[in-house]
Structure 1
């Protein structure tokens, strides 16, 4: 489930982790390996049972039937769910964790959501004595498995300082960027950048292939120069080989770009290239590629 990693010494805490998808499962496992007590919850209980089996029925690992139950005895609750609606359900829904958390506890949310829901939950939490931190991540499933995610946080400085050592169990960079919502805004910046790089890479590789070049060799050469990027190093070879059954799904990227475009309209910002690439991803979905990796943009050009 996860790669070996050396964890910094931290005081063991009682943690709840909600959402055991391709990202959440490895992240929760790193927390367990780091020495914390981890109670997990997943909407599909079978995933929580499978996670417990994968960690070897660890004595400090358990599962809960609801977010309410998982959060009841936690010092820190962490979530990695699907979208704004899912986050609302696990926080303030009928069985939401906010209803059972004690004063002085923290909620750290790794979901990519709107900035507004982060602000709203921070305000609701404050009224209950709960501190909410929005903490979206970048690095994909491999980053979660290897414990090298980048985490962008919005929230109070004191709470961030308290929880940052916990988050470093699965991150190589944990940064506070401002007040509640700032983490989500930074993640939008990240996704705008990623979309542009992937589209440019798709065009370049498709061009080189049509020109008859050995694109694996071309990638090897140009990745040593100014054109180098994470996407080129990690997705370039698989794009050349037409492999997309892994990674960050197109469906999720469209959700994220929708958040970016909505926020841009609120801010009066102009994102013409992002709007165009979002349309390109819609074409990939129409081709049946909703679950393909985002690098599948190149399929449009073949």
Structure 2
């Protein structure tokens, strides 16, 4: 039996794939027994609060799979909480947005202090993704996820600025996406986000801007704590913050294009 706590964009898609794989599923778990409890919530505080509230329903000592993007220290704090609750813990942040979550093709970055927990969660991870990268220690998956998201957010911001520049110089910005297609720098992500920006197709987010802004803050704060100043990441953080303040938090992250266009006007 698998319990999924949190049925937003990612949790809903994963829950459907877990059910499709023939694994018993509870979509919300407070009082019922479960072998695996998977949390797909917004941030570290939400995960910690829900798990504290669910404490009385965790009889049987299930394995807790934590998929939210948090800082490395946050991942370790959640592991410590799991230990206090006498629950085995697997850190498992996800690479991918709504579309791969629905398709069951996510990449999962995972670590657990207990080998037996790895085996228990393996069928669940195989149901929601096509690749699991196991790391040695809790905290490492979150570190790798932040490094990955630094690239993702820099890509989105870079596409937004490229389109804005082309338009300002009198060139059809659709041609930017066209010339990238087929080049060595092309990627499905560019071909997804670029047209969303140009078509203003932002109301059905695959990666909500408010979640991207939260991740940008984690990236820069974690970098600063490590003695680093990431110039691009700092710019992206500020751009996403301004977009969220401008009421675009629930739009797709591609809505950062609006901020580039405002700066150009």
TM superposition score normalised by structure 2:
0.89
**CA drift at 1:98:** 6.9
Output one character per residue of 1:115-161: Cα deviation in whole Å (capped at 9) or x when no partner.
22321232343455422111111211111111111211122362224
- Partner of 1:79 in structure 2? 39
The 8 Å contact of residues 98 and 125 in structure 1, kept in 2 or not, is answered as no
The 8 Å contact of residues 115 and 184 in structure 1, kept in 2 or not, is answered as yes
Within the candidate set 133, 139, 152, 2:90 is matched to: 133
Alignment gaps of 5+ in structure 1: 1-13, 42-66
**CA drift at 1:16:** 0.8
Whole-Å Cα distance in 2 between the matches of residues 77 and 187 of structure 1?
Answer: 21
Q: How does 1:167-178 map to 2 (within 5 A)?
A: 167-178=125-136
- Partner of 1:294 in structure 2? 253
Whole-Å Cα distance in 2 between the matches of residues 127 and 249 of structure 1?
Answer: 33
The 8 Å contact of residues 152 and 174 in structure 1, kept in 2 or not, is answered as yes
Whole-Å Cα distance in 2 between the matches of residues 239 and 184 of structure 1?
Answer: 29
Aligned residues: 259
Could you tell which deviates more after superposition, 221-230 or 30-39?
A: 221-230
Whole-Å Cα distance in 2 between the matches of residues 220 and 97 of structure 1?
Answer: 53
* Structure with the larger helix share: 2
Q: Name the CA shift for 1:255/1:218 in 2 (closer, same or farther; >3 Å).
A: closer
**CA drift at 1:36:** 1.0
Within the candidate set 7, 10, 13, 1:23 is matched to: 10
The 8 Å contact of residues 162 and 176 in structure 2, kept in 1 or not, is answered as no
Alignment gaps of 5+ in structure 2: none
- Partner of 2:58 in structure 1? 100
Whole-Å Cα distance in 2 between the matches of residues 208 and 272 of structure 1?
Answer: 23
**Segments of 4+ moved more than 4 angstroms:** none
- Partner of 2:107 in structure 1? 150
Output one character per residue of 1:213-250: Cα deviation in whole Å (capped at 9) or x when no partner.
34434423322112212321111112122222122122
Q: How does 1:1-302 map to 2 (within 5 A)?
A: 14-41=1-28, 67-70=29-32, 73-92=33-52, 95-97=53-55, 100-103=58-61, 105-126=62-83, 129-156=86-113, 158=115, 159-247=117-205, 248-302=207-261
Q: Name the CA shift for 1:127/1:218 in 2 (closer, same or farther; >3 Å).
A: closer
The 8 Å contact of residues 238 and 244 in structure 1, kept in 2 or not, is answered as yes
Whole-Å Cα distance in 1 between the matches of residues 130 and 237 of structure 2?
Answer: 30
The 8 Å contact of residues 154 and 184 in structure 1, kept in 2 or not, is answered as no
Whole-Å Cα distance in 2 between the matches of residues 98 and 154 of structure 1?
Answer: 25
Whole-Å Cα distance in 1 between the matches of residues 230 and 220 of structure 2?
Answer: 7
**Cα RMSD after superposing both structures:** 2.0
Q: Secondary structure at the match of 1:68?
A: coil
The 8 Å contact of residues 136 and 151 in structure 1, kept in 2 or not, is answered as yes
The 8 Å contact of residues 23 and 140 in structure 1, kept in 2 or not, is answered as yes
The 8 Å contact of residues 55 and 85 in structure 2, kept in 1 or not, is answered as no
Q: Secondary structure at the match of 1:168?
A: helix
**CA drift at 1:26:** 1.4
Q: Secondary structure at the match of 2:248?
A: coil
